[in-house]
Amino acid sequence: SQQGEEDPQALSIQEGENATMNCSYKTSINNLQWYRQNSGRGLVHLILIRSNEREKHSGRLRVTLDTSKKSSSLLITASRAADTASYFCATDIIQGAQKLVFGQGTRLTINP
Amino acid sequence: EAGVAQSPRYKIIEKRQSVAFWCNPISGHATLYWYQQILGQGPKLLIQFQNNGVVDDSQLPKDRFSAERLKGVDSTLKIQPAKLEDSAVYLCASSFSGGSEAFFGQGTRLTVV
């Protein structure tokens, strides 16, 4: 079964606008990661946030983590056409050993 | 730095046939993952290795799927016999340790007809 659930499943915005995606998870984690997948390609790591961190920035990306609500959000500012992709959150589940489990993803479309 | 290598990139087989996928992780990465990604869905973890030991294979259909990681480096994933519902992209990834940033290969797109 999947650990993370992204919301929304699909998002379409105009170039230049900000895009926000949310992820909820079920069990305790050490960290949460966000990945991007362009059509037909492998996944690319974007950012990792640890359970003792609340917010992290990387370029136009801003990630927040609320462990009390078991949720995270990814904000992409000033979106570009090249940001069109699927975005996945992944959590490391601690059940004996850490394993990396992905959600179903958000399909982001940036319209020119 | 060389990335995660996977082969083949594409494979078409008939149902009930067997198929094998190969993965060469990034040098020095102890953790290796195999994921199955069906079109429109997120990657589903099939098996995770730590060196040459299995960390988790709870979602691996063991009646038809098998995987090994010899000498803690390369890995192969085999399906025998294949079913139509096995049509998917099979992704291999590696990381320095469990839970750290994972690096993905380009995947193998399997079509079972």
Is there a contact between A90 and B102 if contact means CB atoms under 8 Å apart? yes
Residue of B nearest to A95 (CA): B56
Alpha carbon distance B97, B42 (integer Å): 22
pLDDT > 70: percent of chain B: 99
Mutate which: B26, B44, B54, B104, vs A, most A CBs within 10 A: B104
The sheet carrying A71-76 orders its strands as A5-7, A19-24, A71-76, A61-66, A55-58
What are the tens digits of pLDDT across the range A40-90?
Answer: 778 999 999 999 999 999 999 999 999 999 999 999 999 999 999 999 999
Contacts of B84 (CB under 8 A, 6+ apart): B15, B112, B113
Is there a contact between B106 and A42 if contact means CB atoms under 8 Å apart? yes
What does the pLDDT read at residue A97? 67
Band (pLDDT 50/70/90 cuts) for residue B37 is very high
**Mean pLDDT for the stretch of residues B6-22:** 97
Q: Which long-range contacts (CB under 8 A, 24 or more apart) does B69-75 make?
A: B69/B32, B72/B30, B73/B24, B73/B25, B74/B22, B74/B23, B74/B24, B74/B25, B75/B22, B75/B23, B75/B25, B75/B32, B75/B34, B75/B49
Contacts of A99 in chain B (CB under 8 A): 45, 48, 55-56, 98
User: Min CA distance, A9 vs chain B (Å)?
Assistant: 10
pLDDT beyond 50 at A1: no
pLDDT beyond 50 at B28: yes
Name which residue leads in pLDDT, B52 or A23: A23
Band (pLDDT 50/70/90 cuts) for residue B70 is confident
pLDDT beyond 60 at B35: yes
pLDDT beyond 80 at B86: yes
Whether the CB-CB separation of A65 and A72 falls below 8 Å is answered with yes
User: Min CA distance, B81 vs chain A (Å)?
Assistant: 24
Band (pLDDT 50/70/90 cuts) for residue B1 is low
pLDDT beyond 80 at A94: no
What does the pLDDT read at residue A31? 92
Contacts of B104 in chain A (CB under 8 A): 42-44
**Mean pLDDT for the stretch of residues A8-21:** 96
